[in-house]
Structure 1
Amino acid sequence: MKKSMTKYYKERLVEEEASLAELEKKNSTTSNIRLFAIIAGAVLLYFLFKTSAIIAFGAILGILTGFYFLVRYHESIQEKVELKKVLIDVLRNELEVCTGGKNKYAEGTDFYDEKHDYTADLDVFGNFSLFHLTNRAKTRLGQKKLANAFLETHKSEIIQKRQAASKELLGKTIWRQCFQASLFELSGSSVTELSTLGEPPAIKLEGLIKYYAFLKWIFVGGVAAVFYFYGVTNGMIALFGLLALNYSLVGINKKVTEPYFNKIKGLSRDMAKYKTATQLVLEENWETELLKNAQGLLPVDGKNPIEEFQLISTKIDMKNNQFASFFLYAFSPFDLVQLVKLRGWVKKNPSFFEEIFECLGTFEQFASVATLAFNRPDWTFPELNDDANVSVNAVEIGHPLMPESVSNSYVLSPQNRLSLITGSNMSGKSTFLRTLGSNILLAYAGAPVFAERFALNSEIKLFAYMRIKDSLEQNSSTFKAEIDRIKILLEAMNIEPKALLLVDEMLRGTNSEDKLKGSIAFLERVIKSNSYALVATHDLRMTDIADKYPESSKNYFFEYDAKDGELTFDYKLKPGICESFNASELLRSVGLDV
């Protein structure tokens, strides 16, 4: 698997790097043409001014118009160059991930909750986590949607819809990579800034500014007439008079406009990314329900509102260019005109940003899952059922965060509601519990699982009791933390119809006798409820529960082999009870006489 995916991404990189070289060549040529146009235009104007100021003034307008379109064409090429570079970065990231490197996307540490039912125990968030393995979302909402898929139990109908969306995107590899690239360099704050942008402030003489699109041609025509009838000197006076008027209108509104302009400063860059992403979404015909619904949040008729917003915000950013601002203010109080347009845009599209982020977040969520599925072609999408006789049927299941892990098969059913797992230290007990739990969480998200076959009853609700630690901040001992977690599990058994409890060496914070009594009482409660539990332990006395309740509990074990002082583990789950432990040998290996 790793070799085939590595080969694929290397070939894609060669292909896209060749395409980038062609675009950069075109970009360089266009840049030279721009330089030539500036020089040629300046020379032409020099000779025209010697001939006629009126002709020269008309030529200025013509040259500026032509240069504007040349600049726009050059910018479109530059956008393609930048997008291609980002696409190459996306492919390099996937190559890095497939060769065991670190994913550049967010780890989801801000979703970590130590008190959650299972996320701290099953490595759901943070470095080397399920979220980090899967995440390809850049917007905050996309990350939140993916996180929520791991955080909550879902009915089979919802999971099946998620699988369908993920599979549809799995079949659109190039589209998915381009979509990732469109948002890859998104600044994290832009979503927050846009969602809290609010309506632009009201300005003085707004009624006049609204008509400036029409008035500016009258003013420009008047200036041109002065040049024609009264000569260059008077024409220049008229031109600077128009500039003074426009700058005055800007000046009297500066107190209210400047804070707002600072708020949206630089957003045009991210708007370009959102525009590209939404265009990609709109260009496709989506078949699955979740993707069609997400696409439906975007406008399909008329001009894309995000394109309008980007155009306005780009123009507002242009005012910070001193050279460009002279020409812009020669015709109108430029930024005020754009602000009025922005006010109109906000009134016309009051909930647009909420809808666009909902759409893009949904596509990011399922593009993340689809990328995981693409990178792991040997994994399988789980089968979902409501069969009361089988809750989990896993064939050759492995840990999703350990690509080279040893796989095992396991069935969780009414005949095996309680599994006692014994074994020596480092033999694989805890890893097996996490293996089962992690794959169930991937199934919740509509993702493939690390197994040859994986059938799941979607009513299963996970709870874990594995990493218990004290808290100085909360003045809580390890034993108190264990008692608190046991209370949660007992409540879950009372409330949840199909609670699945993953328990690793319970009550380790007390003496062995109380530990045994408490553990047996807990196991008895599991048997008497409708819950399921996998309990890892070193205490063989707990395995007697399987003899007492053979119709609903079983013993399993992991073992090791000692040869010439070396310990080896096969990490294979076997039915029965472990008969050998290695703690003494491990202690002797570090110098203790035991």
Structure 2
Amino acid sequence: MTTPEKKYQKRVEAYSAKLDLYTKKSSTFGNYKLLVFFIGIGLAVVLYIFNQLIFMSAQIILFLSAFIYLSIVQNHIIKRKNYSYAMYQINKMCLKRINGEWSKFSDVGEEFENQEHNYTYDLDIFGRNSLFQMINMTSTYSGRHKLAEIFLNPLEKKEDILERQEAISELSRKLMFRQRMLSNAIISNKNLALIDDEEINSGYHSSSAYSSKKKRKTLLDTMNKLEEIYLWAKQENKLYSSNGFILLITGLPVLTLILLVLSIFGVVSPYLPILGFSIQFLMLAYKANFRSKNFEIVEKYANTLKVYSGIIKQFESEKFESDYINELKKELKGKSQDPAWKQIEKLSKLWELIANRYNLFHAIVNVATLWDYHCLVRLEKWKIRSGKYVQKWFDIIGEVEALSSMSILRHDNPEFIMPQITEDLKAGITAEQLGHPLLGKDRKCNDISFDSNQPILLITGSNMSGKSTFLRTVGISLLLATLGMPVCAKFFKCPILKIYACMRTSDNLGQNVSSFYAELLRVKMIVEAVDRNERVFFLLDEIFKGTNSADRHMGAKMLIRQLDKKATWGMVSTHDLELADLEKESNSHIRNYHFKEYYKDNKIYFDYRLRKGVSDTRNAIYLMRMAGVSVED
């Protein structure tokens, strides 16, 4: 069986070879064009000198035809070259991910980080070394934000989770579709820095062809204003779509040109065409800023439209079995007869007409033909026909991109499994060989189970033994399950629970919040969720560590007892071994587990294996000595 790593490596080699081939071919045809050009010029000069004008004309036509033909062939080769480059870079990026080098990817989703969210900050969903950084392969603003939105809003119904599982599983098998969709975006918008800077600078293209982090930020800043084009597309101006106005801007220039011709032959006074041109000039001066604003919006989003058009075209032409994805395709088409990508492409072509405004002779042509008004009329017709669908198109493509990114976890880790989802809380949580999906090949896996009779685990252990990592492993696995994604386990079954974590808290000088008070705010969030009768799964890591030992012990004990009485599920890690007494006090409703270390050749080792019972080892003194702290026996 071909592993994902071998598959990506094979593709890197194949597209690298194609890129070399097309680069050489493009250069060769470029040389052919130069040769044809200079030979053609030379022959034309010679024939002109010898007054062979007929042969010169034939020769010019022949060599011009050859030059055009070579240009067409070269452009075709350049397209293949660009496609090969995009696919080469995509597969190199995928290879980096599967080899555990994804932490170097530049897009970490830092703007989605929120320390006050109930789990994203604690479970490394956004930021450095996060789930977002690992799997994000979106190429649009909509896709990027949809992926973040999905991470922030787990599904709450079993049928919705199973539907998304099906969609993600199918997309994971469609590697070519996913990569072609991404390559279309890269080719359509060369300012799109999907590849990290190291790849850009060491790749076949110069650094000017693809942007660095700074250009990526500029792109995202531009795309961040999609609301602008949504609003523009929905706004209609009936004046510019009325038959009377269209007749006026068509008939007046024709009449003025006729009067100009007649005045040349002395049939009419020359003042009449002058009057006509004056009226047309005044018409162009009227609300010129309004027209410019419309044109500027189309110009600003020209590349964005190309990106979306390419992705939509790829999506609409692909066949799917998933009901959920097919429903997205149906929504994308809507009531319109034309495919969505064609409608967006029409707007892109309109921009090509509008771009003539930058032509040197535009001012003259504009006054003579009212060109700007004709462009505005065509824009208005497009808005009436297609404008109301723009936001829906972008949203759907965003979701397809987000699902494609989520499917990467399934494709790149065939050993991961789709979890069994149950709506019965009493069925409990069962996991076999559960590991953290972000830790790669070095991860350590453990079995774990919860049920309604034993819903809370108390994890003890020495420093660095793996307590916090295990809490995050269970937390992120439960999250992935409710997102419809695979989990790193041989078996995983769980009910639908809402995750609340209190693991990373720190001082906030700007808001005068101490770490202890920050913990209290997180605890309050958990307690309030429980009081709202939410199906809570909590994660508490060294709770109340910001206060003295006596208060910490008393507060933690009271909190755990309170949560236990409320029939919640969760995990608590602690160095406070006295909390282990809660197992007896709760009649084993709270269970004790632990991690431990061992020593060999005067060195400390951790096996990261979860064991039943209370920790019986300590390593703080040993670690302090390792750090150079002098500790007396």
Normalising by the smaller structure, the TM-score range is 0.7 to 0.9
Displacement after TM superposition at 1:337 (Å):
2.6
Q: Which residue of 2 aligns with 1:112?
A: 113
> How big is each residue's C-alpha offset from its partner over 1:323-374, in whole Å with a ceiling of 9 and x where there is no partner?
8x69987995545432321121112223221011111111111100112211
SS at match of 2:471: helix
Asked whether 1:305 is paired with 2:343, we answer yes
Query: In structure 2, do the counterparts of structure 1 residues 588 and 468 end up closer, same or farther at CA, with 3 Å as the change threshold?
Result: same
Q: Which residue of 2 aligns with 1:542?
A: 579
Contact 1:421–1:556 (CA<8 Å) still a contact in 2?
yes
Q: Which residue of 1 aligns with 2:149?
A: 148
User: Separation in 1 of the partners of 2:100 and 2:583?
Assistant: 41
SS at match of 1:395: strand
Displacement after TM superposition at 1:435 (Å):
0.7
Displacement after TM superposition at 1:140 (Å):
2.6
Displacement after TM superposition at 1:204 (Å):
9.7
Output the aligned Cα RMSD. Answer: 4.3
Q: Aligned match of 1:427 in 459, 465, 468?
A: 465
Asked whether 1:127 is paired with 2:128, we answer yes
Residues 182-221 of structure 1 mapped to structure 2, 5 A cutoff: 182-184=184-186, 185=189, 186=192, 187-188=219-220, 189-190=222-223, 191-198=226-233, 199=235, 210=246
Tell which deviates more after alignment, 95-104 or 413-422. Answer: 95-104
Displacement after TM superposition at 1:106 (Å):
3.0
Q: Which residue of 2 aligns with 1:5?
A: 4
Identity over aligned pairs, percent? 27
Q: Which residue of 1 aligns with 2:528?
A: 491
Tell which deviates more after alignment, 477-486 or 420-429. Answer: 477-486
Q: Aligned match of 1:504 in 537, 541, 549?
A: 541
Q: Which residue of 2 aligns with 1:346?
A: 383
Asked whether 1:284 is paired with 2:286, we answer no
Q: Aligned match of 1:397 in 431, 434, 437?
A: 434
Runs of 5+ unmatched residues, structure 1: 231-241
Contact 2:256–2:277 (CA<8 Å) still a contact in 1?
no
**Counterpart of 1:270 in structure 2: which amino acid?**
T
**Counterpart of 1:151 in structure 2: which amino acid?**
L
Contact 2:432–2:446 (CA<8 Å) still a contact in 1?
yes
Contact 1:416–1:551 (CA<8 Å) still a contact in 2?
yes
Contact 1:463–1:489 (CA<8 Å) still a contact in 2?
yes
Tell which deviates more after alignment, 130-139 or 332-341. Answer: 332-341
Q: Which residue of 2 aligns with 1:296?
A: 330
Contact 1:212–1:337 (CA<8 Å) still a contact in 2?
no
User: Separation in 1 of the partners of 2:277 and 2:72?
Assistant: 25
Q: Which residue of 2 aligns with 1:92?
A: 92
Asked whether 1:564 is paired with 2:601, we answer yes
User: Separation in 2 of the partners of 1:339 and 1:255?
Assistant: 13
User: Separation in 1 of the partners of 2:123 and 2:161?
Assistant: 20
**Counterpart of 2:346 in structure 1: which amino acid?**
E
**Counterpart of 1:476 in structure 2: which amino acid?**
V
User: Separation in 2 of the partners of 1:250 and 1:173?
Assistant: 52
User: Separation in 1 of the partners of 2:286 and 2:38?
Assistant: 35
Runs of 5+ unmatched residues, structure 2: 193-218, 266-275
**Counterpart of 2:179 in structure 1: which amino acid?**
Q
Contact 1:105–1:138 (CA<8 Å) still a contact in 2?
no
**Counterpart of 2:306 in structure 1: which amino acid?**
A
Tell which deviates more after alignment, 193-202 or 402-411. Answer: 193-202
**Counterpart of 2:552 in structure 1: which amino acid?**
K
**Counterpart of 2:338 in structure 1: which amino acid?**
G
> How big is each residue's C-alpha offset from its partner over 1:474-510, in whole Å with a ceiling of 9 and x where there is no partner?
2122222222222222222222342111111111122
User: Separation in 2 of the partners of 1:151 and 1:105?
Assistant: 21
Q: Which residue of 1 aligns with 2:15?
A: 16
Query: In structure 2, do the counterparts of structure 1 residues 353 and 167 end up closer, same or farther at CA, with 3 Å as the change threshold?
Result: same
Q: Which residue of 2 aligns with 1:238?
A: none
**Counterpart of 1:6 in structure 2: which amino acid?**
E
Displacement after TM superposition at 1:267 (Å):
3.0
Query: In structure 2, do the counterparts of structure 1 residues 244 and 569 end up closer, same or farther at CA, with 3 Å as the change threshold?
Result: farther
Contact 2:592–2:612 (CA<8 Å) still a contact in 1?
yes
Q: Which residue of 2 aligns with 1:236?
A: none
TM-score by length of 1: 0.83
Query: In structure 2, do the counterparts of structure 1 residues 39 and 345 end up closer, same or farther at CA, with 3 Å as the change threshold?
Result: farther
Residues 26-425 of structure 1 mapped to structure 2, 5 A cutoff: 78-102=78-102, 104=105, 106-154=107-155, 155-184=157-186, 185=189, 186=192, 187-188=219-220, 189-190=222-223, 191-198=226-233, 199=235, 210=246, 254-299=288-333, 301-302=337-338, 304-322=342-360, 332-403=369-440, 404-425=442-463
Q: Which residue of 2 aligns with 1:464?
A: 501
Query: In structure 2, do the counterparts of structure 1 residues 462 and 382 end up closer, same or farther at CA, with 3 Å as the change threshold?
Result: same
Residues 564-583 of structure 1 mapped to structure 2, 5 A cutoff: 564-583=601-620
Q: Which residue of 2 aligns with 1:237?
A: none
Query: In structure 2, do the counterparts of structure 1 residues 392 and 213 end up closer, same or farther at CA, with 3 Å as the change threshold?
Result: farther
> How big is each residue's C-alpha offset from its partner over 1:508-543, in whole Å with a ceiling of 9 and x where there is no partner?
122212211111111211221110121111111110
Contact 1:121–1:464 (CA<8 Å) still a contact in 2?
yes
Q: Which residue of 2 aligns with 1:441?
A: 479
